[in-house]
Structure 1
């Protein structure tokens, strides 16, 4: 029996792929490394962290930390949520799936990122992985652990991913990969500044098997108001409990609006890391989540620099669940 693993499950590692001089982070590399250091410092208090980078010198800012391991590997970019492994339970044994990654529809170079999983599990974990001939990013899917997948049509049905398959065929594959009984396809909702074709992890996420936390916009004049209101109407029909995550006020860098969303939170052992944006809604979101998540500490981490390359905290990491050797 195959089962998708919800992200609140016990983790062995949180993996991050570090910014370096050959990435688009180069103009403000020190700033983003400081932001990563802050993020990783919070996580390492709760569990092990695995850092990935092309050379030993890239690890220097993190060598003083406890609970950190390192793996040298060339990378194109940092968004390991989307090119890292996705794990499943197969008869209660954790198996690792290696999907194809084409940089969100061939928008950027991706050959090094696409090769990471094979190297990581061969050289570090000494474990077999199953290669899947299907393009899929981790940020595009979210599971409740009870057979339900939450995703968006704009991403998974986009012609720049698996254009040879129609919706019914994609559904069949997803149900087979993850042991699903239901797929919730959202047709509405987007976050300006997101270049993933509307990943679900900026819009709506399971926080337990019965509850979805989702982005809302409270400003009727904002570009997000109508699309997110339409998404809310869709979610109200799903039968799940709902928790609102009001968007922060617009954040700009170089006159470009950035894709800030509180839905890009990260589950770790005994805590939930929530992106903060120095906004009045930071604490409102924290309080909304604390009302329903009773067994974890809710921790805010400044994610503003992450936004400059169109991602946030969840995009920047990947979970490896308990049981890896």
Structure 2
């Protein structure tokens, strides 16, 4: 089997760090040398749903993001994706169709979506909408019924692409046999091989989330949610994808309780460049780290360090959202350097950084 290396980096929203599972995600990616970053300007953790869909290297499709389930919480809708990622030198085709990215499963020259797309675009002709979608994605559209047990109407909890003419279906054998047969009748004409997950007596209410895994290159990270089906999920997914893939689990119960899993909170792409804002944060973190190495000790916040080392003492640190984000990103990278370098220690080992405005809390840095 040919390994699908179409993505080599994954991005998340900074808000994901408020969940306990972020520590597990971060450690697993670090341990497996998977590059990752945080997207500025996001308003929610579900980045899959609003970030453009990559159809080929540096070629994306953006769309109208107006989910009905957020009609009363519009403050969580991220509409300016250009403020989240530097799309310079990329081709971005824009479509006026209302779409959730979690409802688009790219399968080579095909895409799979649930028919909730019709509800989201009620003013568009049902006959015209499929043609518009195929034109936007330059791919054959395969529509499957909306599993109404899941209010978001996303396909990424129902089916995933394995490889050429090969897909993996979630465990409907243990949930709804009639619905399973309906799905198979629609998918079999388009795919030669359809594998299915099956947990039998080990199926639990959150077992659906295993299929909502994160795939970056030949790494597959499966959400772990319940000991009954966790091991079965990893074993079956490993068998389906084969020895060329490395399948591991990550505990993600917190986000699963919110209705999503690893694919929902991630945006994995093929990236042959480092965005300007990210390389800037890395450089600034090294500047601050090297400055701290020249001190015997220093007591202050990361915001203070940003002012002293990066801006200069005579500058005023702005309090707008952009500047705050810069300090947060600096904090994240600085503490990564401290944890990896072992040259600086934090004398105060309290739980700073977990609650409140952590980058404005004083830390006691001391050179070992």
- Sort the TM-score into its range (normalised by shorter chain): 0.7 to 0.9
Cα-to-partner distance string for 1:263-287 (whole Å, 9 max, x where unaligned):
2111112211112222332222222
CA distance in 2, matches of 1:260, 1:19: 24
1:183/1:98 Cα in 2 relative to 1: closer, same or farther (>3 Å)? Answer: closer
Cα distance change on mapping 1:126 and 1:237 into 2, 3 Å: closer
The corresponding residue for 2:110 is 148
Maintained 8 Å contact 1:243/1:289: no
Counterpart of 2:193 in structure 1 is: 241
Q: Where in structure 1 are there 5+ consecutive unaligned residues?
A: 1-6, 21-28, 53-71, 252-257
SS in 2 for 1:312: coil
Q: Residues 83-122 of structure 1 correspond to what in structure 2 (within 5 A)?
A: 83-89=50-56, 94-104=58-68, 106-110=70-74, 113-121=77-85
Deviation at 1:112, TM superposition (A): 5.9
Deviation at 1:106, TM superposition (A): 4.4
Helix, strand or coil: the match of 1:102?
A: coil
Q: Per the alignment, in what secondary structure is the counterpart of residue 314 of structure 1?
A: coil
SS at match of 2:15: coil
**In structure 2, what is the Cα distance between the partners aligned to 1:131 and 1:213?**
29
Higher helix residue share: 2
Cα distance in 1, alignment partners of residues 172 and 13 from structure 2? 31
Q: Which runs of 5+ in 2 are unaligned?
A: 275-368
Partner of 2:320: none
- Report how far residue 126 of structure 1 moved: 4.1
Distance 1:282 1:118 in 2: 37
1:301 maps to 2:230: no
Is 1:139 the counterpart of 2:129? The answer is no
Q: 1:171 aligns with which of 130, 139, 147?
A: 130
TM-score where L is the length of structure 2: 0.64
Larger Rg: 2
Displacement of 1:306 = 1.0
Using the alignment, how far apart are the partners of 1:188 and 1:226 within structure 2? 14
In the TM superposition, residue 214 of structure 1 has moved relative to its aligned partner by 0.7
Residue 51 of structure 2 contacts residue 267 of structure 2 at CA under 8 Å; is this kept in 1? yes
Query: What is the TM-score of this pair, normalised by structure 1?
Result: 0.72
**Cα distance in 2 between the residues matched to 1:322 and 1:308:** 31
1:17-166 to 2 correspondences below 5 Å: 17-19=13-15, 32=19, 34-44=20-30, 45-52=32-39, 72-75=40-43, 77-89=44-56, 94-104=58-68, 106-110=70-74, 113-121=77-85, 124=86, 126-127=88-89, 129-145=92-108, 147-153=109-115, 155-158=116-119, 161-166=120-125
- Which of 220, 223, 233 is matched with 1:272 structurally? 220
Structure 1 residue aligned with 2:263? 314
The answer to which structure, 1 or 2, has the higher relative contact order (CA under 8 A, 6+ apart) is 1
Name whichever structure is richer in strand by fraction.
1
Q: RMSD of aligned C-alpha atoms?
A: 2.7
Deviation at 1:179, TM superposition (A): 1.5
Which of residues 218, 227, 230 in structure 1 aligns to 2:182?
Answer: 230
